[in-house]
Structure 1
Amino acid sequence: MDFSQEEENNNVSLTKFESMLKTNNVLFFDSSEFENIIHHYLNQGKVALAKKAIKLGLQQHPSSVSLKLFKVEIFVFENELGKANSLLNELYILEPSNEEIYIQKANIFSKENKHEEAIDVLKRALSLAEDTADLYSLIGMEYLFLDQFDKARDSFMECLDSNPEDYASLYNIIYCFDFLDKNSEAIEYLNTYLDKNPYCEVAWHQLGRQYYELKDYEKALNAYDFAIISDDTFVGAYIEKGKVLEKLNLYNEAIENYSITLSLEDPTSFALLRIASCHEKLGNDDLALHYYYKTVHEDPLLDKGWIAITKFCCKQENYEKALHYINKAINIDGENVIYWNYYAKINHKLNFLEEAERGYKQVLELEHYELESWLIRSDLLSELGEVESAALNLIQAQDFFPENAEIEFRLAGLYFQLLETEKATYHFRNAMRFDAEHIIILEELFPEIYKSTAVKNLLKKKQ
């Protein structure tokens, strides 16, 4: 039976089965038909229909081990591991050499985080299986769970030896090399693989990535060129080649490669963002802004897009437009601390002090506790005449930055302003003890207090 005929038969079986469900007329299917129906529904994520097919299948074929194994799979999926184990034990007595029983047993061990036991069971299955590629893949995944990357890599290599077109295993092998920081070994392995499979675009792509990590950009370019020769619709190769060309300051060539991806599939925000960045570096400001705008239009949730367009406007000192874009970003995602940071800084540049203070307050409420945010917010509150709030803000900052002279000198100045001399003196002495050179803060922010008799007397006593 050829593939198209087999597929046609499967479709007939599915249509017949679904018709039976609608009419409640019980029709007969052989066990292999039920297996194909169940497999189809599980692949589609239609678990309820799969369960119906299993139930009807076992009613018509009560001794079918294959159908009972599907039942085990459902038990595991629904986390009913006890029922799954009981049924597997029954099936093992009936067919102790059925590799699928071992695979499901290993699956249960894996769900229970017993990965060593899962590996032992899968290794026992290896002696029973004619095709071992899938088993080695499962063993490799269990080793990944255990962070045993050398063993995982070796297992995936066994898969690839059995099936050179198993690209999932190839990706996993390179993932293991990457995790182990073995770029040179990865390059050696990929070159050996490519000697036997010279037109594998995935391998050329991965080889380019390894050279890129080693900053060998010329070899990376060659690898991506071969990936494109192998498959001239391979979007990933054009993207990665564009990144290398950017590193080599070949921005026009980078734009050309990113642009090709836009014609091969729906535009991606990443490609649009990189095109915009290249135009900016080339001084094509209008085109840069055009592509930055297309980036945020394509993916409004991409924070890198909003940040890039905001930074671009700030670089041009067009703070009003920068504020316009960062406000749009905040309206989309009001919990993004980076947006609020830009909002605060841009408003500060525009001398919108209340809005700037609100921005820094939001940054801190989002638990982004940088010293600069505490200090600037305090200075803004002080400038707005909210001296007590400025002091309270710095007291809170002390929980994160104890024994900090920048905080202490500010507190001294604020408390002198509030005529709370005892507190002011306490913080002044602390500040001098932590770092006396920061007294310039008092001189710049509180010049009148710096020149006051009280501060002069404190400085004399310090001498």
Structure 2
Amino acid sequence: MCMKFNHEEEEDNFSITRYESMLRSNDLKFFDSDEFESIIHHYLENGKIAKAKKAISLGLAQHPSSVNLKLLQVEVLVFEDRLDKADILLAQLHAIEPENEEIYIQKANILSKQNKHKKAISLLLKALEFTDETADIYSLLGMEYLFLDDFENAKLNFMQCLNNDDEDYSALYNIIYCFDFLDQHTEAIEFLNNFLDKNPYCEVAWHQVGKQYYDLKEFEKALAAFEFAIISDEYFIGAYLEKGKVLEKLKRYNEAIENYRITLELDDPTSFALLRIGTCFEKLGNEELAIQHFSQTVHEDPLLDKGWIAITDFYTRKKNYQKALYYINKAIHIDSENVLYWKRYAKINNRLGFFEEAENGFRKALELGNYELETWLNRSDILRFLGESEAAVQNLKQAIEFYPENAEVHYRIAGLFFENQDFESGEKHLREGLDLDYEYHIVLEELYDKIYELPLVKRIIAEYEHI
């Protein structure tokens, strides 16, 4: 590939080298204000704030009236949240250059940090009056509208940004983000197709078209779009991954594996690609290669819960609960706060007849915020089996707080109350259950057969039979 000679970049590099040489030798040299600006920008872009501040100080010592250097000083002050000082300096600069768009941009930045987004928008619109370089300002306007959850106006401003700079892919991504949030997939495709008419080899746009068709479940069209993305850039890893996902949906598992493998050749192995390859092999019935790739997935990224879940679920489906338990224990050892792990831990132990461990797993899942009905019900059944009747009642009382209209919870707690000779509470919850869903009283018959045969219970159920 032919390398383009960039004279301006070489000059900037020379200025930085000369400036850093001056600092090392402590021998003061003169730099014009443009040189100082490029030096300061270099440090800011690389996150070297202390060095940027030093360069601003030296720059202003040599060029005390430079508005641009003072604006860079404002940028640093805003970054450091020294907003009052930045405001004072901006007011001084506005008196000198009232038509300098950067003054309005920096003031808008301050207002944005203070959550005054509508005022920030007003100043950015003012900045547009004083500049021909509008792309960056439209991008900032888009961000302000995003802060206000005004996705339509955000979208329009990012579009304006892209109209002024068709290589600003961050604006393109933000436009698609707005379309997605507004659930406008068809409109997004129309917009992207118009963009591609002018930029036919934009791999990012083809990639986004593919993702829109994927969301619409139009998999053949999605596949074509990802193929165009790959034609535009044969090293585009994201397009191969998405193409693999589409091929899986089309049940073309061998082709999906081929695309995932290309990503492994283009870059270091990713846990996502290894996981998908394992899943494809499992669908093809090649269990040996499936488990091999699931194992590689957790080796490559031990923190990826989908890898541990895949290998655990694989052995669960094979009814090899001992191996499933081995892997879920390893996963919990790495991340003991993952609710998906604890749910599986509980169910596997339940299958193995390790009821105390199973109860512990369901309890841990609840503590971590897994308030699914199934979790409450499973835990109450195990507590009852373990003879922890009072704990089972308390568990179901908590479940009722989340599911007050669920008949199954009321039937279960009614059975427990009747078993504990608390007939008043038992009758109350039995009637609640019957009011909510008469047919579901079969739960009582299946789980509490002795209670179901009680004359009192039979009489109450009979009252609701023809209601």
SS in structure 1 at match of 2:289:
helix
Q: 2:236 aligns with which of 234, 251, 262?
A: 234
User: Deviations along 1:283-335, whole A, 9 cap, x unmatched?
Assistant: 11111111112222222222222222222211111111111111111111111
Q: Following the alignment from structure 1 to structure 2, what is the Cα–Cα distance between the partners of residues 412 and 179?
A: 45
Tell me the TM-score normalised to structure 2 length: 0.90
Q: 1:73 aligns with which of 63, 72, 75?
A: 75
Uncovered stretches (5+) of structure 1, i.e. residues with no partner: none
1:224 is matched by which residue type in structure 2? F
Q: Following the alignment from structure 2 to structure 1, what is the Cα–Cα distance between the partners of residues 265 and 387?
A: 57
What's 2:399 paired with? Answer: 397
What's 1:195 paired with? Answer: 197
Structure 1 position 458, deviation (Å): 6.6
Q: Following the alignment from structure 1 to structure 2, what is the Cα–Cα distance between the partners of residues 435 and 191?
A: 52
Q: 2:261 aligns with which of 259, 262, 265?
A: 259
Q: Following the alignment from structure 1 to structure 2, what is the Cα–Cα distance between the partners of residues 114 and 408?
A: 50
Structure 1 position 202, deviation (Å): 1.5
SS in structure 1 at match of 2:159:
helix
SS in structure 2 at match of 1:184:
helix
User: Deviations along 1:210-250, whole A, 9 cap, x unmatched?
Assistant: 22233332222222212111110011111111121112111
> Residues 175 and 408 of structure 1: is their aligned pair in 2 closer, same or farther, counting only changes over 3 Å?
closer
User: Deviations along 1:345-398, whole A, 9 cap, x unmatched?
Assistant: 111111111111111111121232222222221211221222232233223333
Q: Following the alignment from structure 1 to structure 2, what is the Cα–Cα distance between the partners of residues 457 and 246?
A: 56
1:144 is matched by which residue type in structure 2? L
Structure 1 position 412, deviation (Å): 4.1
Once the two structures are overlaid, the 10-residue window that deviates more, 171-180 or 298-307, is 171-180
2:338 is matched by which residue type in structure 1? N
2:207 is matched by which residue type in structure 1? H
**What is the total number of aligned residue pairs between the two structures?**
462
> Residues 347 and 16 of structure 1: is their aligned pair in 2 closer, same or farther, counting only changes over 3 Å?
same
User: Deviations along 1:245-278, whole A, 9 cap, x unmatched?
Assistant: 1121111111111111111111222212211111
Map of 1:3-152 to 2, 5 A cutoff? 4-22=6-24, 24-152=26-154
> Residues 432 and 174 of structure 1: is their aligned pair in 2 closer, same or farther, counting only changes over 3 Å?
closer
Q: 2:174 aligns with which of 172, 175, 180?
A: 172
Q: Following the alignment from structure 2 to structure 1, what is the Cα–Cα distance between the partners of residues 201 and 434?
A: 70
Q: Following the alignment from structure 2 to structure 1, what is the Cα–Cα distance between the partners of residues 140 and 418?
A: 70
Q: Following the alignment from structure 1 to structure 2, what is the Cα–Cα distance between the partners of residues 344 and 305?
A: 19
SS in structure 1 at match of 2:402:
coil
> Residues 408 and 206 of structure 1: is their aligned pair in 2 closer, same or farther, counting only changes over 3 Å?
closer
Structure 1 position 179, deviation (Å): 2.9
> Residues 32 and 403 of structure 1: is their aligned pair in 2 closer, same or farther, counting only changes over 3 Å?
closer
Task: Please provide the CA RMSD for this pair.
Answer: 2.7
What's 1:347 paired with? Answer: 349
> Residues 63 and 342 of structure 1: is their aligned pair in 2 closer, same or farther, counting only changes over 3 Å?
same
What's 1:270 paired with? Answer: 272
Once the two structures are overlaid, the 10-residue window that deviates more, 6-15 or 386-395, is 6-15
1:368 is matched by which residue type in structure 2? N
> Residues 407 and 197 of structure 1: is their aligned pair in 2 closer, same or farther, counting only changes over 3 Å?
closer
The answer to whether the 8 A contact 2:438-2:464 is kept is: no
1:263 is matched by which residue type in structure 2? E
- Percent identical residues: 62
> Residues 441 and 123 of structure 1: is their aligned pair in 2 closer, same or farther, counting only changes over 3 Å?
closer
SS in structure 2 at match of 1:399:
helix
User: Deviations along 1:80-122, whole A, 9 cap, x unmatched?
Assistant: 2222121112112222232222221222222223333323322
Structure 1 position 147, deviation (Å): 3.1
SS in structure 1 at match of 2:401:
coil
Uncovered stretches (5+) of structure 2, i.e. residues with no partner: none
> Residues 249 and 47 of structure 1: is their aligned pair in 2 closer, same or farther, counting only changes over 3 Å?
same
> Residues 59 and 142 of structure 1: is their aligned pair in 2 closer, same or farther, counting only changes over 3 Å?
same
| Mapped pair 1:161 → 2:140 | no
| Mapped pair 1:329 → 2:331 | yes
Q: Following the alignment from structure 1 to structure 2, what is the Cα–Cα distance between the partners of residues 161 and 423?
A: 69
Once the two structures are overlaid, the 10-residue window that deviates more, 356-365 or 209-218, is 209-218
User: Deviations along 1:21-74, whole A, 9 cap, x unmatched?
Assistant: 455544433222221221111111111221121112111211111110111101
1:69 is matched by which residue type in structure 2? L
What's 1:414 paired with? Answer: 416
> Residues 429 and 198 of structure 1: is their aligned pair in 2 closer, same or farther, counting only changes over 3 Å?
closer
SS in structure 2 at match of 1:398:
helix
Q: Following the alignment from structure 1 to structure 2, what is the Cα–Cα distance between the partners of residues 403 and 223?
A: 47
2:103 is matched by which residue type in structure 1? I
> Residues 370 and 150 of structure 1: is their aligned pair in 2 closer, same or farther, counting only changes over 3 Å?
closer
Once the two structures are overlaid, the 10-residue window that deviates more, 59-68 or 442-451, is 442-451
Q: Following the alignment from structure 1 to structure 2, what is the Cα–Cα distance between the partners of residues 370 and 48?
A: 51
Q: Following the alignment from structure 1 to structure 2, what is the Cα–Cα distance between the partners of residues 227 and 462?
A: 64
Q: Following the alignment from structure 2 to structure 1, what is the Cα–Cα distance between the partners of residues 258 and 215?
A: 23
Q: Following the alignment from structure 1 to structure 2, what is the Cα–Cα distance between the partners of residues 162 and 438?
A: 64
Q: Following the alignment from structure 2 to structure 1, what is the Cα–Cα distance between the partners of residues 186 and 51?
A: 49
Once the two structures are overlaid, the 10-residue window that deviates more, 300-309 or 398-407, is 398-407
Q: Following the alignment from structure 2 to structure 1, what is the Cα–Cα distance between the partners of residues 121 and 335?
A: 44
SS in structure 1 at match of 2:44:
helix
Q: 2:444 aligns with which of 442, 445, 463?
A: 442
1:105 is matched by which residue type in structure 2? K
Q: 2:360 aligns with which of 358, 361, 365?
A: 358
> Residues 59 and 413 of structure 1: is their aligned pair in 2 closer, same or farther, counting only changes over 3 Å?
same
Q: Following the alignment from structure 2 to structure 1, what is the Cα–Cα distance between the partners of residues 330 and 227?
A: 40
Q: Following the alignment from structure 1 to structure 2, what is the Cα–Cα distance between the partners of residues 212 and 88?
A: 48
The answer to whether the 8 A contact 2:434-2:461 is kept is: no
